Structure 1
Amino acid sequence: MPPHAVLPTGSAHAKAILVGEHAAVYGHPAIALPITPLRTVAEVHHCPGPLRLSTGDASLPVTELPQRFASVGVAAVESLTFFGLPAEDVEIVVRSGIPPQAGLGASAAAANAIVEAVRAYAGVALNDASRFALVQTAERVAHGNPSGIDAHATRAREPLLFADHVATPLTLGAPVCFVVADTGVRASTDDAVAGVRQIVDADPALGRSLLARLGDLTRAAVLDLEQAHLTAFGRRLTEAQDALTDLGVGHPAIDRLVTAALDAGAAGAKLTGAGRGGCVIAVTPDAASGQVVQSAMTAAGAVAGWIVTLGAT
C-alpha cells in the first residue's frame, strides 16, 4: 500500500440493550438499540514486519497483546486470513470512543471496525453472514458464548429484534428518545453472566421464571414500540430492571440513576448490558424531556451521558 493511498478504514458504533439482556443467552428475544454517537474506527497502515495493532495506548505485535486486547487481535488475524492476506507488513490502528466494560458493545464494535477495514484493504466484497462469523470469532474470545446481538447491533442503523438467532429491524410507531447514562462502575460481562448462571443452577424454577419474565416483557415491548404506547413501553423497562436485580446483576449506582430518571419524568429506566455497573437507559417522548432526564442522572452520579432520538419507521 503506497504511503499516499487513502487508508482503508472501517467503523462501527455502540449499542444498548433495551430489554432482554441475559435472557437472550437462554433463547429468549431481546431488543437492541444502536448508539451511533459513540464510534470506533479502525485503519490499516503499512508497517514493515509482523502484524501490529495500535489501540492508542501502544502499538504492539498481535502476539504480544495483553489479554484485554486479545479479541481485537483475533479479529485482525482472522480477517486477514479470511481474505488470503499475510499477517505481516500491516498495522491496524483502532481508535474507540466507546467506554469499555460499560455494556455498550465496545468489543463487538472494535471487531466490526477491524473486519471492515481489512475488507477495504483487501478490496473485495463481504457478505453479511461471513462478516458476522468473523466478528463472532472475536467475540467468543471476549465473552465466551456471545448471543450475537452485539455483532449485529454495532453495525445496525435502526433498533433490532433479536430472536431465534435472527436480527430483524424493529418498527417504531412514533418518535422515541433514549437517554444512556454511564454509572462509571466497571464490571466483567463474563462474571455477570456466570452469576446469572449460578442463580439459574441453584434455583432452576426461580431462574427460569425470571428469564421467562424478561422474554415476555421483550415481546410486549415490541408491540408497545410498534403501536406507539410509550407509557406501557417504559413500564416494561422498569419491570425488566426488577427482574434483572433479582438475577443478581443490579448495583447501587444503577439504582441511583434509575430512580433519578424516573423522578425526572422518564417513562421507564433500567440497566443496559451485563449489569453490576455499566450504563442505564431511560426512555422519554422527546429530546427536551431527554435533556431533563440526562441532567438528573448526571446529578445522581453519572459520569457521562448520551441522547439518541429515533423517528417513526
Structure 2
Amino acid sequence: MPDAPSVRARQRFRAAYDADPAGLWAAPGRVNLIGEHTDYNDGYVLPFALPHTTVAAAAPHEGDGWTVVSDDGSPVHFGAAEAAEPGAVPGWAGYVAGVVWALRDAGFDPPPARLALGSDVPVGAGLSSSAALESSVLTALVDLGGLDLPVDRRPAVAQRAENAYVGVPCGIMDQSASVRSRAGHALFLDCRTLDVEHIPFDVARDGLAVLVVDSNAPHKLVDGEYANRRSTCEAAAAALGLTALRDVTDLDAALAALDDDVTRRRVRHVVTENQRVLDTVELLRGGRVREIGPLLTASHASMRDDFAITVPEVDTAVETALTAGAYGARMTGGGFGGCVIALVDADAAETVADAVRRAFADRGFAAPDHFVATPGPGATRLE
C-alpha cells in the first residue's frame, strides 16, 4: 500500500506546480525512549525513529528563491532576502526557510527549489514533527544541490535552523534521531561529542511493544517554559563552575552548593536522568528489555517532581498504564502535554490503551489517541 505522506506530497507537488517532482525525501518523527532535557546539557539521550514521516517532494527550478506548499494548499514563496534574515518567514514555512538559511550560514549554496510536503507525524504531540520537516527538506536540498554535507553533520544544521531562524531553543536530539536512526534500534547519542551507537531495540522479539499514547493535551514549547528550563540549567552549570550539567560528578555536593530549591531540583533531574540513560543502554546491550521498565517510570517521576514539566493528562496516562500492567511508562518529549510511552506485553497493548481511554473519560479529559511504535530508519530518499 502506498505511503500516505508520499502520496500527498506528490499530489500536492503536481497540483501546485503542474509538474512531477525530481524525487521524494522522507524523514521520521521520533520517540525518546529515555533522556529528557539532557541534550542541551551535553548529556545522553536514547531516542528512536518512528514509522511516521514527513515527505518532501522536490525539484530544482530556474527561478529565484524557494516555494513550498503543505496542508493548506497555499504555496509560500521566499527569496534570498527572506532566507538571509532569521524570522523573516513566519509560521510553518519558517522551518523550510530556516533550513535554507542554516545551509547558507554553514557555507553551502542550496539550489532554488519547489517543494511540497506531506506528513503523518502528529503535530504538537512531542514527537518532533518540526525536526521531521527540517530533516526531510534538508535531505532534499542536499541531494538536489549535490552538497557535500556528511550525514553526521546534518543534525547540527537542522538544529541551527530551528534555534536561530525559527527561535526555538531545542537541543540536538530531535534532529539527530530524524537523520541518523536505524530500523530496529534506539540511537544512543552523546550530545557533547555527537558520537552515536545503535542499540538493538527489537521489542517484538521479546513479545513486547512500545505503546505511544497521545494525551491530546496542548503541547507548546515556544511559550517560554522550555527556554526557562534551559536557562536555569545553564545558570546552574555556570554557578558550579562547569561547562554543562553533564559534568556533575558528585550530585550531593552540587546540590549543597546551590542556594535555590527550584534550581536544585532541575539539576537533580538532569544528573539522575543521564544516569538512567546509561543504565537503560547497559540493560538493552544485554538483551534485558523488560528490566528497563522501572527506569522509564523513575524518569517520569523525576520529570513530574523535579523538572515540573508534566500535566495531569500525561500523569494520568502513566499511572493508568502502570496499573494496567505496563512494565514502565513515562512522558516523552519536551513536556507540558504531548505523549506517554509504555513498555507493555504485545498482546496487552490494546488493553492498556483502553484503560487509559477510560481513565481520561472519567476525568473529563479529551480522548487520547494511541499507536504501537516500531523503531524505523532515519532520513532517506524514497525515489
TM-score class normalised by the smaller sequence: 0.7 to 0.9
Which of 70, 75, 78 aligns to 2:99? It is 75
Deviates more, 1:105-114 or 1:199-208: 199-208
Q: Classify 1:227/1:130 alpha carbon distance in 2 versus 1 (closer, same or farther; 3 Å).
A: closer
Q: Classify 1:276/1:295 alpha carbon distance in 2 versus 1 (closer, same or farther; 3 Å).
A: same
Q: Classify 1:186/1:265 alpha carbon distance in 2 versus 1 (closer, same or farther; 3 Å).
A: same
1: CA distance, partners of 2:265 / 2:359: 32
1: CA distance, partners of 2:221 / 2:301: 19
Deviates more, 1:292-301 or 1:208-217: 292-301
Determine whether 1:21 maps to 2:42: no
* More strand as a share of residues: 1
1: CA distance, partners of 2:334 / 2:111: 36
1:275-305, Cα deviation, whole Å (9 max, x unpaired): 110111111243x222322333333445321
1:204-257, Cα deviation, whole Å (9 max, x unpaired): 333222211111111111122222333431111111101001211010000111
Corresponding residue SS for 2:200:
coil
1:55 is displaced (CA, Å) by 2.0
Q: Is the 8 A contact 2:212 2:341 kept in 1?
A: yes
Q: Classify 1:131/1:197 alpha carbon distance in 2 versus 1 (closer, same or farther; 3 Å).
A: closer
1: CA distance, partners of 2:122 / 2:201: 28
Corresponding residue SS for 1:154:
helix
Q: Is the 8 A contact 1:192 1:275 kept in 2?
A: no
Deviates more, 1:6-15 or 1:133-142: 133-142
1: CA distance, partners of 2:343 / 2:329: 7
Determine whether 1:42 maps to 2:51: no
Q: Classify 1:8/1:295 alpha carbon distance in 2 versus 1 (closer, same or farther; 3 Å).
A: same
Q: Which amino acid aligns with 1:41?
A: V
2: CA distance, partners of 1:169 / 1:29: 13
Partner of 2:195: 166
Q: Classify 1:47/1:271 alpha carbon distance in 2 versus 1 (closer, same or farther; 3 Å).
A: farther
1:93 is displaced (CA, Å) by 1.1
Determine whether 1:182 maps to 2:182: no
Corresponding residue SS for 2:121:
coil
Q: Is the 8 A contact 1:72 1:107 kept in 2?
A: no
Partner of 2:7: none
Alignment gaps of 5+ in structure 1: none
Alignment gaps of 5+ in structure 2: 1-16, 83-87, 237-259, 361-366, 377-383
1:31-59, Cα deviation, whole Å (9 max, x unpaired): 102111x1100111458564222122121
1:97-128, Cα deviation, whole Å (9 max, x unpaired): 11222211111110110012223323566421
Q: Percent identity?
A: 23
1:79 is displaced (CA, Å) by 4.7
Rg larger in structure: 2
Q: How does 1:211-250 map to 2 (within 5 A)?
A: 211-246=270-305, 247-250=307-310
Moved beyond 6 Å, runs of 4+ = none
1:16 is displaced (CA, Å) by 1.0
Determine whether 1:196 maps to 2:229: yes
Q: Classify 1:75/1:124 alpha carbon distance in 2 versus 1 (closer, same or farther; 3 Å).
A: closer
1: CA distance, partners of 2:280 / 2:266: 21
Q: Classify 1:124/1:143 alpha carbon distance in 2 versus 1 (closer, same or farther; 3 Å).
A: closer
2: CA distance, partners of 1:241 / 1:256: 12
Partner of 1:267: 327
* TM-score calculated relative to the size of structure 1: 0.86
* TM-score calculated relative to the size of structure 2: 0.71
Deviates more, 1:107-116 or 1:3-12: 3-12
Q: Is the 8 A contact 1:102 1:278 kept in 2?
A: yes
2: CA distance, partners of 1:173 / 1:91: 38
1: CA distance, partners of 2:340 / 2:232: 23
